[in-house]
Amino acid sequence: MGSVGEVTPQQMHFSEPLPLRSGAMLPAYDLVYETYGTLNAQRSNAVLVCHALNASHHVAGTYAGQARSEGWWDNLVGPGKPLDTDRFFVIGVNNPGSCFGSTGPRDLNPATGRAWGADFPVVTVEDWVDAQARLLDALGIGQLAAVIGGSLGGMQALGWTMRHPQRVRHCAAIATAPNLSAQNIAFNEVARRAIVTDPDFHGGHFYAHGVLPRRGLRVARMIGHITYLSDDAMEQKFGRELRAAEFGYTTQDIEFQIESYLRHQGDKFSDYFDANTYLLITRALDYFDPAREHGGDLACAFDAARGCGFLVVSFTTDWRFSPARSREIVKALVDNRIDVSYAEIAAPHGHDAFLLDDERYHRVVRAWFDRVDIG
Amino acid sequence: MSPRRDLEIIASLVPAGARVLDLGCGTGEMLSHLKRTRGCTGYGVEIDDANVHACVQRGIDVLQLNLEDGLALFEDQSFDVVLQLETLQHLRNTERMLRETARIGRIGIVSFPNFAHWPNRLRVATGRMPVTKALPYEWYDTPNIRVGTFADFEVLARKNGLKVTDAFGLQDGEVVRRWPNLLASVAVFRIERG
């Protein structure tokens, strides 16, 4: 098993506006993407990888001259890996509204000549799917062999099968949910309030003030990070371990290692992530609810997906998107007599397990992709 | 026991083209056979990681679920046939599973080791628990937490209002219709809602 090696992101310009679910339009925009492997002559071996909250088009491989620049799913995607780039042509694309190269809140709003900031139109999972479909049009790919994603990426993968069912033959939805629970939305709202109430946020137009709402972003990331780990994983990694040998009897300094870890994660995140993007992406999560327009009937929502084959994977210690949520998806598919396999992996890591290298998880994904027909 | 012949005999009870749910499907051998030889469709349910992997590998749709958690995922009468082969004896809630089988499937097919097979009776008569091909475990390490007989099952089916539409034993790859409770190591029942 190898790496796809050094990769270079590519950029595609779209001059035709993208109609959004909200009724708004995203005017001309750019999408940044990467590809791995070779598109076959029949153009039948393309696999789209959809990214989650803080990831990007950089799925696999490394950047020249940059240490530790492996893509976020490098353990899954590459030659001889579960998603085998010797067989498949794999595409990673950064979604609009994100902050890793595709058009987002940091870019200029052509109407004002200023950065979009908080005025960037609200984007949904379905809008991202449509943007991805346009990229495939431009790449000359009529139909995907498969679409795969974890967490929010899994929602996009599911969205593909409902929105463009004729353009996708297989779908792998990993550690995801058919919509957010009240608790999920609550965590998102705490994160958003942390950002919006940061004095440096300036109503989302902080770029003009030459500041960044770092405090808010840090807290948002800390909150998010708690939901990515299982109670056990956190206990095992940090427990009640102290930074010093004894209590310092301080209310503001770091005492416990878990505090140090969360603050470190928050600091790192606030260096590279955009506050407006965080608001947009958590909202896209909140809004995703394909059953809503079918009177709450998820099976009805998947009616369009007949003909597509599915793999659904959940992790037993994931309390953010628990196995019960994945079973709702499985039930809706079974009700439609759709081909689906479902693996419930007993992994200790919580939601983050979908990004980690777990033998049982990866071998199921590998076996499933091995059966994906490329004509 | 002749696993291959047993599989073929049980498969012959499944109507061609049936939509099948195989509870405790193992490596997916039965579903694969039914798909190939009888044009059946459907899913397997399995708890074991290695078995789930084996099913995905051979292209059998498998759902990793714990049967003890119930079968709420499946709607009433949503399958033509529900198979429960060599599974019942591992489950704590035998009776509920049996009722669930009849709720979900138009036909239920159940097989399990027949404890009343004569070598077992002899062994018990000598004061020891049987260890045979059909029941290969010692009493202290057996995964078979429910041991019953061909005759016992008839009583349980009746108690749950299930109609037995066929019943026979299997021994050395042959169907046993004469005194199956005595002469067969495996019991097979086809049930329907009464």
pLDDT in tens, A1-36: 789 999 999 999 999 999 999 999 999 999 999 999
Tell me the percentage of chain A whose pLDDT exceeds 90. 99
Per-residue pLDDT band at B194 (split at 50, 70, 90) = confident
What's the whole-number average pLDDT of chain A?
97
CA B60/CA B64 separation, integer angstroms = 12
Q: What's the pLDDT at B39?
A: 98
B122 in reach of chain A (CB within 8 A): no
Residues of chain B with pLDDT > 90: what percent?
85
Percent of chain A with pLDDT over 70: 100
User: CA of B78 to nearest chain A CA: how many angstroms apart?
Assistant: 8
Task: Give the pair of three-digit tokens for residue B135.
Answer: 């029941």
Is residue A146 within 8 A of residue A172, CB to CB? The reply is yes
Q: Is the pLDDT confidence value at B1 over 60?
A: no
Beta strands in chain B (DSSP E): 19-23, 41-46, 62-64, 79-85, 105-113, 162-171, 174-176, 186-193
Chain B neighbors of A343, CB-CB under 8 A: 49, 52, 56, 64
What the block records as the tokens of A261 is: 């870890």
When pLDDT is cut at 50, 70 and 90, the band that residue A375 belongs to is confident
CB of B61 less than 8 A from some CB of A? yes
Cα-Cα-Cα-Cα torsion B181, B187, B189, B194, nearest 10 degrees, comes to 50
- Report the pLDDT value the prediction gives residue B117, as an integer from 0 to 100: 96
User: How many residue pairs from chains A and B have C-beta atoms closer than 8 A?
Assistant: 51
Cβ-Cβ contacts under 8 Å, A337 against chain B: 19, 41
- The letter for the amino acid at A4 is V
Tell me, what's the pLDDT at A109? 95
DSSP string, A28-58: SEEEEEEEES---TTS--EEEEE--TT--S-
* Residues 6-25, chain B, touching A (beta carbon < 8 A): 19
Please give the pLDDT value at position A132: 98
* CA–CA dist A150, A173 (Å, integer): 6
In contact, B161 and B142? CB cutoff 8 Å: no
Residues belonging to chain A with any Cβ–Cβ distance to chain B shorter than 8 Å: 311, 327, 330-331, 334-335, 337, 339-346, 360, 363-364, 367-368, 370-371
**B32 Cβ under 8 Å from any chain A Cβ:** no
If you average pLDDT over residues A129-141, what whole number do you get? 98
A335/B75 Cβ within 8 A: yes
Region A210-219 average pLDDT? 97
Using 50, 70 and 90 to split pLDDT, how confident is the model at B132?
Answer: confident
Binned at pLDDT 50, 70 and 90, residue B147 comes out as confident
Mean pLDDT, rounded, for A211-232: 96
Residue range A156-200, pLDDT digits in tens: 999 999 999 999 999 999 999 999 999 999 999 999 999 999 999
DSSP label of A306: T
| Contact (Cβ atoms closer than 8 angstroms) between residue A103 and residue A29 | yes
> Token digits for A6?
């050094």
Are A340 and B53 inside 8 Å of each other by CB?
Answer: no
With CB atoms and an 8 Å threshold, state whether A364 touches B53.
yes
Please report how the helices B150-159 and B94-104 are oriented relative to each other, as an axis angle in degrees rounded to 10. Answer: 60
DSSP 8-state class, residue A91: E
Contacts of A297 in chain B (CB under 8 A): none
β-pairing, B186-193 vs B105-113, is antiparallel
pLDDT of residue B145: 86
- Whether residues A334 and B43 touch (CB distance < 8 A) is answered with yes
**Cα gap A313→A343, rounded to integer Å:** 5
Question: Across residues A56-74, what is the average pLDDT?
Answer: 97
Which residue has 């035709």 as its token pair? A16
Smallest CA–CA distance from A373 into chain B, residue: B59
User: Rounded to whole angstroms, how far apart are CA atoms B73 and B95?
Assistant: 18
> Catalytic positions of A, please?
151, 318, 351
Whether residue B117 contacts residue B93, with contact meaning beta carbons closer than 8 Å, is answered with no
Structure token digits, residue A270: 């606030």
Q: What is the pTM of this model?
A: 0.96
Tokens at residue A56, please? 């990007």
B32 in Cβ contact with B58 (< 8 Å)? yes
| pLDDT for residue B146 | 87
Condensed to tens digits (0 to 9), the pLDDT of residues A233-280 reads 999 999 999 999 999 999 999 999 999 999 999 999 999 999 999 999
| CA–CA dist B55, A355 (Å, integer) | 24
Whole-angstrom distance, CA of residue A22 vs CA of residue A19: 8
| Residue A364 to residue B65, Cβ atoms within 8 A | no
Higher pLDDT: A375 or A359? It is A359
Cα of A140 to nearest chain B Cα, Å: 30
Residue A350: pLDDT band by 50, 70, 90 thresholds? Answer: very high
**Buried b vs exposed e over A44-78: b needs ≥16 C-beta within 10 Å?**
bbbbbbbbbbbbbbbbbbbeeeeeeebbbbbbbbb
Interface touch B64/A344, C-beta < 8 Å:
yes
What's the CA gap between A340 and B84, in Å, rounded?
20
Closest approach of chain A CAs to the CA of B135, in angstroms?
A: 30
Per-residue confidence (pLDDT) for residue A341, from 0 to 100: 98
Torsion of CA A12, A16, A17, A20, to 10 degrees: -80
B94: how many CB neighbours lie within 10 A of its CB? 17
DSSP H helices in chain A: 125-139, 152-163, 182-196, 214-228, 231-237, 257-272, 275-287, 298-301, 323-335, 359-370
Q: Does B3 score more than 90 pLDDT?
A: no
Subunit contact B61:A368, Cβ cutoff 8 A: no
Q: Residue B146: name the closest of B187, B67, B91, B107 by CA.
A: B91
Q: Give the residue, B189 or B4, on which the prediction is more confident.
A: B189
Pick from B91, B55, B89, B49: which is nearest to B70 by CA? B91
CA dihedral B119, B122, B124, B130 (to 10 degrees): -30
> Which of B20, B56, B66 is the mutation pick for testing A, counting most A CBs within 10 A?
B56
Q: Are β-strands A25-26 and A89-93 bridged in parallel, bridged antiparallel, or unpaired?
A: unpaired
Q: What is the per-residue pLDDT for B144?
A: 86
More confident residue, B89 or B32: B32
Instruction: Measure the CA–CA gap between A200 and A195, rounded to whole angstroms.
Output: 9
SS3 for B93? coil
